[in-house]
Amino acid sequence: MARGIRRFLSVALKVLALMLALVLMIVVIRTVTFPSYQTSPPECKVTDPDFIPADEERLARFTSAIQFQTVSYERGVGTPQELAKFVHFIQKSFPTVHGSPMVRRDVVGNYSLLYRVEGSDASLQPYMLASHLDVVPITEEANWEAPPFSGQVKDGYIYGRGTIDTKHTLMGSLEALEFLLSSGHQPKRTLYLAFGHDEETHGVFGAKVISKVLQQRGEEIVFILDEGTMVVDDFFPGVSKPVALVSVSEKGSLHVKLKVQAEGGHGSMPTKESAIGILARAAKKLEDNPHPNMFGTGPEARMLEYVATEMTLPYRMLSSNLWLFSPLVGWLLSQTPQGNAYARTTTALTRFTAGNKDNVISPEAEAIVDHRIHPMQTAEEVLEFDRKVINDARVVLDVKDSSSVFPPSPISPHGKDSPTYAVLQKTIQQIFPDALVTPTFMVANTDTRHYWNLSSAIYRFSPSAMSVADLKRIHGVNERISIKAYEKVINFYYHLISNMDEPLDVKHHGHTDGL
Ligand SMILES: *[C@@H]1O[C@H](CO)[C@@H](O)[C@H](O)[C@H]1NC(C)=O
Ligand SMILES: *[C@@H]1O[C@H](CO)[C@@H](O)[C@H](O)[C@H]1NC(C)=O
Ligand SMILES: [Zn+2]
C-alpha cells in the first residue's frame, strides 16, 4: 500500500516537473520570438518641401482661436455668442477652404460645423476628422501663469483653455487642409471635418445632430479620428520610448441609484436598523467588492503586447506571455487608481443623501454609484453584480436615468490586419519617429459616442506629445501646448490626408510575423 502511494507521488512529481519545464520553455520561446508591431515609415522632416511650419501667421490664428471663450457649462448651457464669433473667425481665417468649390460647409445645430471635401474618386468611402469648438470652464483663475483666454506665448508654450482640449486638433486640421488646397491638390478620397459645439456637455446638440445629418445622407465612413489619448512619456514601466496610445474603444457609463425606505421616527427611540445604516452597509459592500478584474479580455491586453518587444526583459516576458501572466499583470495594474480603471468596471460612490434634522431618523436614504463600464462588460451585468453583492431586498437598485447609462463603445479594428489602424500608425510614426504605437481604450468619453452608426472604425487620438505633468493641465490650471507640438499637429493632419490618397490596404514592413 505505502509503496503504491510512494510510486504514485514520484510519478506525479515527475509529471509536474515536466509540465513546469514545458511552461518555462513556452515562456522563453514566446519572449524571444514575440512579433514586433512597430513600423518605421519615412520620417516627416523640417526640410521636406511640403513641411508646414508654425510660422507667425499660423501661430497668430491659433492664439486668436484660444481667445474665444467658447465655454460649455452644462447640457444646453453654453456661450452662443462666443461660438458664433468663433465660427465667423474660422470662416475668415481659412479663405481657401471656405472658397473652394470642392468644399461644402454646413452649419449644424446652429453652431457645429460639418465640412465635406470632395475627393476625386467617388468610389472611395469617405473618412472623417473630428474635434470640438467648445471648452470647459476656467478653474482657479488666480493660479494661471497667463490669463486663460489670452493665448499668450511664454517660453515656447501657448497658454490657454482649449490649447489641448481641443482647439489644437481643430485648428491644426484646418491649417493642413488650407495648405493642401492652396497647393492646388484635390484629395482622392472624400473627407469630412466635423466640429461639434457642446462636446464637454455630452454633444447632444452638436455631434448628435451631425451624426443624424450624415446618417440621413446615408454616409458610411471608412474611419473616424477624433480627439483622444496622446503620445506620452514614461507611461509603461520597462519602456523608454514615448508611446502613442490610440483608443479603439471607450468605457461605458452607468449611474446606479440605491434607495432604502425604513421606519423613521424620533432620535430618542431608534429601531435596530435605520435607512441610513442599511444604505451605508450596502454602499460599503459595493466599495469592498470591486467588479471582476477584466484584464486580458479586451484591448488593454493588446496595449501591452504591441509594445512587448520594446520592453526591458522582465516586462517583455510578462507582456509576451499574457496567456499565463494575465492574472498577475491585472493584479499589478489594479494597484493604482489609473491602472485599475483599465482593469475593470470601476465603482465610485459619488452621492449620499439622507436626513434633514439632527434628532429625526430619516425614513429614506439615497445614494448614487458612478460605474465606468469595461469594454467587455454590459450595463446589465454591472447592475446584476451590484444586486448580488448587496444581497439585501430592502435596498432598491435602479438605473438613475436614461442619460446616465450607455454601453462601452464597440471595439474598432486594430493590429496588423486593419488598414485603417495601419494608416494611422504610419502617420503617427512619420511625425513621432521615436514613438511606439499601441491600442488602448479611453476611460473618458468623446463625441464619438454619437458616431457609432457611421463607422465601425473609430479612433480617439490627439497627435500631440505630452509629459504626464502637462496631461494634468487638461481641464485644469495652465493648460498649454508648445509651439513645436502644435507644429506637429498640423503636419500630422497633412500627412494623414496625404496618406489617404494611397490605397487602403495592409502593408507589411518586413518584420517576422506570428508564432
Ligand atoms: C438655434 O437658434 C434658434 C434661434 O436663435 C433657436 O430657436 C434654436 O433653439 C437653436 N437651436 C439649437 C439646436 O440650439
Ligand atoms: C443608429 O441606428 C439605429 C437603427 O437605424 C437607430 O435606431 C439609432 O437611433 C441610431 N443611433 C444613433 C445614435 O444615431
Ligand atoms: Zn475634448
Please tell me which residue, 444 or 180, carries the higher pLDDT value.
Answer: 180
Active site residue 134: yes
Tens of pLDDT, residues 32-48? 999 999 999 999 999 99
What is the CATH code for 249-404?
3.30.70.360
Task: Assess whether the C-beta atom of 409 lies below 6 angstroms from ligand 2.
Answer: no
For the segment 331-359, the average pLDDT, to the nearest whole number, is: 95
Contacts of 253 (CB under 8 A, 6+ apart): 370, 371, 372, 373, 404, 405, 406, 445
Q: Determine the length of the chain.
A: 515
- Please give the pLDDT value at position 515: 37
Residue 123 CA to residue 119 CA, distance in Å, equals 9
- Please give the pLDDT value at position 512: 42
Task: Assess whether the C-beta atom of 353 lies below 6 angstroms from ligand 2.
Answer: no
Q: What is the pTM assigned to this prediction?
A: 0.92
Check if the beta carbon of residue 221 is closer than 8 Å to that of residue 126.
yes
Q: Would the CATH topology of 56-247+410-499 be identical to that of 249-404? A: no
For the chain, domain boundaries: 56-247+410-499, 249-404
Task: Assess whether the C-beta atom of 228 lies below 6 angstroms from ligand 1.
Answer: no
For the segment 147-172, the average pLDDT, to the nearest whole number, is: 96
- Please give the pLDDT value at position 508: 55
For atom 8 of ligand 2, the residue with the nearest CA is 453
What DSSP state is assigned to residue 462? E
Dihedral sign, Cα of residue 44, residue 45, residue 46, residue 50: negative
Tens of pLDDT, residues 396-429? 999 999 888 999 999 999 998 999 999 999 999 9
Check if the beta carbon of residue 421 is closer than 8 Å to that of residue 246.
yes
For 251-384, where are the E strands, in sequence order? 252-261, 265-266, 346-354, 360-361, 364-373
Contacts of 143 (CB under 8 A, 6+ apart): 477, 478
Type of residue found at 320: S
Type of residue found at 34: F
For atom 4 of ligand 2, the residue with the nearest CA is 453
For atom 4 of ligand 1, the residue with the nearest CA is 110
Residue owning grid cell 518605421: 40
Tens of pLDDT, residues 237-246? 899 999 999 9
Q: Ligand 2 centre and the CA of 453: distance in Å?
A: 6
Average pLDDT for the chain: 94
Contacts of 21 (CB under 8 A, 6+ apart): none
Considering 82, 178, 199, 300, which one is annotated as catalytic? 199
Which of 107, 110, 198, 201 is the best mutation target for the ligand 1 pocket, counting ligand atoms within 8 Å of the beta carbon and taking the most?
Answer: 110
The number of the ligand nearest the C-alpha atom of 227 reads 3
Residue owning grid cell 479611453: 442
What DSSP state is assigned to residue 77? B
Q: Which ligand 2 atom minimizes the distance to the CA of 450?
A: 13
Tens of pLDDT, residues 244-281? 999 999 999 999 999 999 998 899 989 899 999 999 99
Q: Taking ligand 3, which is a single-atom ion, which protein residues have CB atoms under 5 Å away?
A: 165-166, 227
Task: Assess whether the C-beta atom of 205 lies below 6 angstroms from ligand 1.
Answer: yes
Q: Phi/psi at 172 (nearest 5 deg)?
A: -65, -40
* Out of 101-105, 185-189, 204-208, 234-238, least confident range: 234-238
For the segment 104-131, the average pLDDT, to the nearest whole number, is: 97
What is the CATH code for 56-247+410-499?
3.40.630.10
Task: Assess whether the C-beta atom of 81 lies below 6 angstroms from ligand 1.
Answer: no
- Please give the pLDDT value at position 507: 59
**Dihedral of the alpha carbons of 138, 141, 144, 149, in degrees to the nearest 10:** 50
